[in-house]
């Protein structure tokens, strides 16, 4: 058969596929011919053909409708007559060097450990000389290629098909039009075979087995094609339409090909990227943003990003000072997008790494020695500042300590430890605000003294000094507000708080300059100049921003999960006796570290010696210490008790529990609930409305001054200006903008401390409205540790049946299978060999033993329900497993589980709140009804024998049964994933599977049902605080504007003191949000 281009859905590889070399983002072929054992391989002529194993890409193919189906290729080259040799891998490595470093970079010319590119035996169909470069790859890329393709070459004799399966050009030549993706750390890349129909035009393959993005190679005008040789299919030089019907005639140069016809049927116009997957070449970017002070800044950031072509999936957070988005690198480079963002907003942007492992080192004395040679496992070296380098590496190939101590034949020095980017960016912003406020205050005090102190009359002299000081304040302290306001207005079309500051301070300053000029000209105005107004106004604004930034920063730090990460640890040397203190960034796989009494565990691991009690409350919320001994797992951030533990590392610091939880919490902080959308709309109209009110206030006071107060027009204008300035500056939209995100951020930290991690802010908003809670049974309401209570065997001896049953269930992670496995292993049973084992959710396990079909599962699926003994087990409070061979019942097991101790309290509390409670389980009716009876759940709300689809259907029924209902589902298993995704709120128990975790909205880091009550109570407390913040913002701005506008006859706010408005409005919002940390929870 001929390899062909593909048009299918984007897929994500399993662990098996990753081991086979498949990378994320590669699309499986949607339509490909099917060959049978004995067919010729179309890549190379003259090969004998034997049945082959599936490639990683083929394992991902799902058989769907014919138009979108993917056929498995079971055809392979003969390893005894290889068409590829080691020179093919050298050519691949050279290309990877060029992708990473450029064609002229030393990376692609390093000679260490590399062979000549010319092979004694030509590869495949004799690739042209132009495709055979004399360059040699670096050692790192060469080793990487060998690691991925050497087993394939040794086993099959050809690596061309593996490359084609990965959507890469073959080893033979460098195709002119082949689309190769450089998957560097930090980039999330999606790579469909064909990016658009236009890419088909004129595309061709330049040699044997090289794949072009134009689809299968065929002649333009022939609807049917008789293939004379493999080369005509795989290695033709001409572009051909993407539709072919192959015939068995003359295929593969005399070999015996499949007699089945394969119709690819994909025309050029049909080939297009999957729009649901986003950009075809999308790179994910995370930026730390410095300079955001209010919600107007965040709005400006969002709109500027939205106006950059190629930028999508935008997420921003004022509180975290962060932005995340995808960049289509075919439209704009990442650096280009960041540069445009900085230019349009004036913010300082720093890109954060999200993938891969990195080390930041100080620039060595001879940096060229580091840059010239990359050790195996080191992926890249990039400068970060003038004094530091960033080394990206693969920890599976090389350890961090090896890099620093020996990999470059010199001792490198780690750069100082950097805290959480959101924390460090916030600290820098606080320092800048504090410095600006201090300088402004130092310049303002002399102006106030000259204006208010009873000094001798020297108007010109004092006015000149005040002018000089006020000018410095206006240019250097208030100066940054001008470009920020203009950029917002021009680029993002946003009228923000900075514009109000610019208008008010500029009005006061310009009016004072004019008044001083009139004084010098001997034509003084009746009011004189008031430089103290503009300088004091700027100082109070900066002081307010400093105090609010400081308060906001302290609030963020108080709930920072990453702050639990220790920076140093005690490493046990390889001799097992001596120890030394090292930076945790230098830990690597295989290390053992020691945790002293009362010290924190630095990263996840397994205890290899020692016994102690560990407090895991900071991670799981469980206050009672947990005893740890040899073989016990420990998690980062937990605190050791009185004993000393030696721990074998299992996860590096960047991948441990702290990092996982912190990433999930940050993801929730970046999301916005519906209440935030309301706040954003209000804040968006706020500034234009204030400007309109200011104009109205100015006009009214001019009229009042002339008509009622009998002032001159100049005096009336001056008076009106002071009222207008006060109105402009005292109003503050920041309180409205912070009302929601401050509470959500604090709520996320509070929930994490109690073992509840929510992924989106919408969950916090929705949890208070839950009307129905649906529980899974096994592993959720029960502990999930089943014990075999009774067993019975039929038609054979137990000694004959047990090994077969153990061989069937030993690799299955379902609680029932695990209980049977433990039971049989405790009896000393050895497993028999069982093939084609499949786990069927909601049913059981299916396999093949010596040609016989064997099943282990529930009574209904195994058709054992009518048997009296089975009926006896079913009516008891037991979970029943039936084992059959060729549909003949061989054994039944009754298993007993234990309810969680808190289950009854949680169910009764929910019912007391008026929330309906249900059980949906795949277990038998008797066990489910008994559990419901013990928990006080109505029998009508207890469903048994439920498949994953049945659970989904039940949840949908609850949704449609009443309007306004909110359904919460709590489960832990893979078969709960559909229900978790379909419920309004899906909660996953920590002891469950990763599949369920990925589908859930909330994750409980400890297996305790009280997490449901904590979530609901936290939702109520958070929403009450959000409503209070909204009310406070409204009341403050209403009365502040009335006071500033002079609505009260005997009292007004002078313009010089209107700058305190930000402090007065924002501080209560922050204090109310932080108060959530000390709230008491009944759960």
Query: Which of residues 36 and 907 earns the better pLDDT score?
Result: 907
CA separation for the pair 833, 760 (Å, rounded) = 46
What average pLDDT does range 700-722 have in this prediction? 89
Percent with pLDDT over 90 in the chain: 17
Residue 639, pLDDT above cutoff 50: yes
Q: What is the pLDDT of residues 257-274, one digit of tens each?
A: 333 333 333 333 333 334
Report the first-to-last Cα separation within the chain, whole angstroms: 64
The residue-averaged pLDDT of 586-607 equals 91
The model's confidence at residue 179, banded by pLDDT at 50, 70 and 90, is: very low
Angle between helices 334-345 and 295-306 (to 10 degrees): 140
pLDDT band at 320 (very low <50, low <70, confident <90, very high): confident
Query: What top-level class would CATH report for the domain 569-656?
Result: mainly beta
Q: Count each helix (H run) and each strand (E run) in the chain, helices first.
A: 32, 33
Q: What is the pLDDT of residue 1022?
A: 93
Task: Indicate whether 521 pLDDT > 90.
Answer: no
pLDDT, tens digit, 9 for 90 and up, residues 714-741 = 888 888 988 988 898 888 777 887 888 8
Q: What are phi and psi of 10, to 5 degrees?
A: -70, 140
- Residue 670 to residue 760: CA distance in whole angstroms: 8
Region 429-440: what's the mean pLDDT?
91
Q: In this predicted model, what pLDDT tens digit does every residue of 763-787 receive, in sequence order?
A: 888 899 999 999 988 888 888 778 8
pLDDT in tens, 284-306: 898 988 888 777 788 889 889 99
Show which residues are catalytic: 776
Is the model's pLDDT at 546 over the cut of 80? yes
* Section 317-332 average pLDDT: 87
**What share of the chain has pLDDT > 70, as a percent?**
73
**pLDDT surpasses 70 at 116:** no
Tokens of 427: 């600290």
d(C-alpha 418, C-alpha 585), whole Å? 11
What does the mean pLDDT of the chain come to? Answer: 74
Residue 583's H or E segment, with its range, is: strand 579-583
Choices 1.10.1060.10, 3.40.50.1000, 1.10.260.40, 3.40.50.2020: CATH for 757-781+902-1005: 3.40.50.1000
More confident residue, 755 or 356: 755
Q: What is the pLDDT of residue 322?
A: 86
**Lowest-confidence pick of 49-63, 577-591, 787-801:** 49-63
* Tokens 């500056």 -> residue: 729
pTM here? 0.60
Q: What is the pLDDT of residue 155?
A: 53
Q: What is the pLDDT of residues 671-698, one digit of tens each?
A: 777 787 778 788 778 888 888 999 999 9
Its sign, for the CA torsion 959, 961, 965, 971, is negative
973 pLDDT higher than 70: no
The C-alpha atoms of residue 687 and residue 692 are separated, in whole angstroms, by: 9
| 209 — pLDDT class (breaks 50, 70, 90) | very low
Kindly indicate the confidence band of residue 36, based on its pLDDT and cuts at 50, 70 and 90.
very low
Of the pLDDT bands very low, low, confident and very high (cuts 50, 70, 90), residue 515 is confident
| pLDDT above 70 for 233 | no
Per-residue model confidence (pLDDT) at position 471: 94
pLDDT for 110 = 38
Output 218 or 922, whichever has higher pLDDT. 922
The domain limits of the chain are 1-181+203-271, 281-299+311-334+348-418, 569-656, 757-781+902-1005, 787-896
Please, are residues 408 and 400 in contact by the beta-carbon 8 Å criterion? no
Identify the burial level of 587 via C-beta atoms within 10 angstroms of its C-beta, where 0-12 means exposed, 13-18 middle and 19 or more buried.
buried
pLDDT tens digit sequence for 935-962: 999 999 999 888 888 888 999 999 888 8
Which segment of 23-27, 471-475, 644-648 scores lowest on mean pLDDT? 23-27
* pLDDT higher than threshold 80 for residue 391: yes
Among 722-731, 736-745, 858-867, 910-919, top mean pLDDT goes to 910-919
Task: Tell me what pLDDT residue 494 has.
Answer: 74
Structure tokens at 639: 């605190």
Please name the residue that has the structure tokens 């086993």: 155
Decide if pLDDT at 1030 tops 50: yes
pLDDT band at 380 (very low <50, low <70, confident <90, very high): confident
Q: What is the pLDDT of residue 244?
A: 31
Assign a CATH topology to domain 787-896: Calcium-transporting ATPase, cytoplasmic domain N (3.40.1110)
3-state secondary structure of 383: strand
Q: What's the pLDDT score for residue 317?
A: 84
- Residue 936's pLDDT is 92
Predicted pLDDT of residue 1083: 63
Identify the band that residue 605 occupies on the pLDDT scale cut at 50, 70 and 90.
very high
């Amino acid at each position: 058969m001929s390899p062909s281009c593909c048009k299918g859905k984007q897929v994500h590889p399993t662990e098996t596929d990753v081991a086979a070399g498949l990378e994320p983002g590669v699309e499986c072929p949607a339509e490909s011919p099917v060959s049978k054992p004995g067919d010729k391989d179309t890549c190379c002529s003259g090969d004998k053909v034997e049945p082959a194993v599936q490639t990683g890409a083929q394992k991902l193919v799902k058989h769907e409708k014919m138009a979108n189906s993917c056929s498995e290729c079971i055809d392979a080259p003969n390893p005894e007559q290889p068409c590829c040799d080691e020179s093919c891998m050298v050519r691949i490595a050279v290309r990877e060097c060029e992708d990473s470093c450029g064609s002229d970079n030393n990376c692609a010319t390093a000679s260490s450990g590399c062979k000549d590119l010319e092979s004694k035996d030509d590869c495949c169909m004799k690739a042209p000389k132009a495709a055979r470069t004399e360059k040699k790859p670096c050692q790192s890329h060469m080793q990487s290629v060998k690691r991925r393709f050497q087993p394939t070459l040794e086993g099959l004799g050809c690596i061309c098909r593996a490359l084609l399966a990965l959507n890469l050009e073959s080893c033979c030549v460098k195709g002119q039009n082949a689309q190769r993706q450089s998957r560097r750390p930090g980039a999330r890349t999606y790579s469909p075979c064909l990016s658009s129909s236009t890419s088909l035009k004129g595309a061709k393959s330049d040699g044997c087995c090289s794949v072009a993005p134009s689809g299968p190679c065929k002649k333009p005008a022939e609807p049917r094609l008789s293939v004379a040789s493999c080369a005509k299919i795989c290695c033709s030089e001409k572009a051909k339409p993407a539709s072919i019907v192959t015939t068995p005639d003359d295929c593969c140069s005399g070999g015996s090909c499949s007699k089945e016809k394969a119709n690819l049927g994909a025309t050029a116009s049909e080939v297009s990227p999957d729009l649901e997957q986003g950009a075809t070449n999308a790179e994910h970017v995370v930026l730390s943003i410095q300079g955001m002070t209010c919600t107007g800044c965040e709005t400006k950031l969002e709109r500027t990003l939205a106006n950059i072509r190629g930028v999508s999936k935008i997420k921003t957070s004022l509180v975290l000072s962060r932005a995340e988005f995808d960049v289509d690198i075919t439209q704009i480079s990442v650096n280009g997008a960041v540069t445009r963002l900085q230019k349009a907003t004036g913010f300082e942007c720093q890109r954060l790494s999200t993938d891969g492992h990195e080390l930041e080192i100080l620039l060595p004395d001879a940096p060229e020695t580091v840059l010239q040679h990359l050790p195996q496992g080191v992926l890249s070296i990039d400068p970060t500042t003038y004094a530091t380098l960033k080394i990206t590496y693969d920890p599976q190939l090389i350890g961090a300590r090896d890099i620093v101590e020996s990999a470059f034949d010199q001792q490198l020095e780690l750069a100082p430890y950097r805290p959480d980017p959101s924390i460090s960016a916030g600290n820098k912003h606080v320092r800048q605000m504090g410095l600006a406020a201090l300088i402004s205050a130092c310049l303002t005090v002399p102006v106030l003294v000259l204006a208010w102190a009873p000094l001798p009359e020297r108007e010109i002299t004092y006015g000149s000094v005040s002018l000089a000081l006020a000018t410095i304040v206006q240019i250097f302290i208030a100066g940054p507000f001008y470009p920020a306001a203009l950029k917002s207005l021009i680029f993002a079309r946003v009228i923000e708080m900075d514009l109000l500051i610019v208008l008010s301070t500029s009005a006061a300053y310009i009016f004072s300059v004019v008044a001083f000029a009139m004084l010098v000209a001997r034509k003084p105005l009746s009011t004189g100049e008031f430089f103290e107004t503009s300088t004091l106004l700027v100082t109070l604004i900066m002081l307010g921003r400093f105090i609010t930034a400081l308060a906001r920063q302290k609030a963020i730090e108080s709930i920072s999960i990453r702050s639990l990460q220790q920076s140093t640890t005690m490493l046990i040397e390889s001799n097992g006796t001596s120890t030394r203190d090292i930076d945790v960034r230098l830990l690597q796989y295989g290390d053992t570290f020691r945790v002293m009494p009362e010290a924190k565990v630095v990263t996840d691991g397994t205890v290899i010696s020692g016994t102690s009690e560990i407090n895991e409350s900071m991670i799981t919320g469980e206050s009672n210490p947990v005893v740890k001994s040899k073989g016990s797992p420990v998690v980062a951030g937990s605190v050791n008790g009185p004993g000393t533990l030696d721990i074998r590392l299992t996860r590096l610091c960047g991948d441990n529990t702290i990092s996982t939880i912190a990433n999930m919490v940050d993801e929730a902080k970046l999301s916005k609930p519906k209440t935030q959308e309301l706040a954003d709309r209000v804040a968006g109209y706020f500034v234009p409305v204030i400007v309109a009110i200011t104009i109205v206030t100015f006009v009214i006071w001019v009229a009042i001054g002339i008509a009622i107060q009998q002032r001159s027009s100049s005096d009336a204008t001056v008076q009106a200006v002071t009222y207008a300035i006060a109105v402009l500056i005292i109003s503050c939209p920041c309180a409205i903008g912070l009302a929601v995100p401050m509470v959500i951020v604090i709520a996320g930290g509070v929930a994490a401390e109690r073992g509840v991690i929510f992924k989106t802010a919408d969950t916090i908003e929705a949890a208070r409205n839950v009307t129905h809670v649906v529980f899974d049974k096994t592993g959720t309401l029960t502990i999930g540790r089943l014990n075999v209570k009774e067993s019975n065997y039929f038609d054979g001896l137990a000694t004959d049946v047990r090994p077969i049953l153990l061989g069937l269930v030993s690799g299955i992670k379902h609680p029932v299978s695990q209980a049977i496995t433990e039971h049989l292993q405790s009896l000393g049973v050895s497993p028999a060999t069982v093939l084609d084992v499949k786990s069927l959710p909601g049913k059981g396990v299916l396999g093949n033993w010596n040609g016989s079909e064997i099943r282990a599962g529930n009574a209904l699926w195994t058709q054992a329900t009518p048997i009296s003994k089975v009926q006896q087990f079913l009516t008891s409070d037991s979970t029943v497993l039936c084992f059959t061979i060729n549909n003949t019942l061989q054994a039944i097991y009754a298993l007993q589980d234990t309810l969680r101790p808190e289950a009854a309290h949680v169910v009764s509390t929910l019912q007391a709140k008026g929330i309906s409670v249900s059980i949906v389980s795949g277990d038998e009716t008797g066990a489910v009804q008994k559990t419901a009876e013990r928990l006080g759940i109505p029998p009508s709300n207890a469903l048994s024998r439920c498949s994953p689809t049945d659970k989904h259907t039940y949840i949908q029924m609850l949704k449609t049964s009443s309007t306004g209902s909110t359904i919460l589902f709590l489960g832990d298993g893979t078969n709960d994933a559909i229900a978790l995704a379909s419920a309004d709120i899906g909660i996953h128990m920590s002891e469950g599977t990763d599949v369920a975790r990925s589908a859930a909205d909330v994750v409980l880091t400890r297996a305790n049902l009280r997490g449901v009550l904590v979530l609901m109570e936290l939702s109520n407390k958070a929403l009450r605080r959000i409503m209070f913040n909204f009310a406070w913002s409204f009341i403050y701005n209403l009365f502040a504007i009335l006071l500033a506008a002079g609505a009260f006859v005997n009292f007004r706010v002078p313009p010089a003191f209107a700058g305190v408005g930000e402090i007065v409005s924002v501080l209560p919002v922050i204090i109310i949000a932080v108060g959530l940390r000390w709230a008491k929870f009944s759960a």
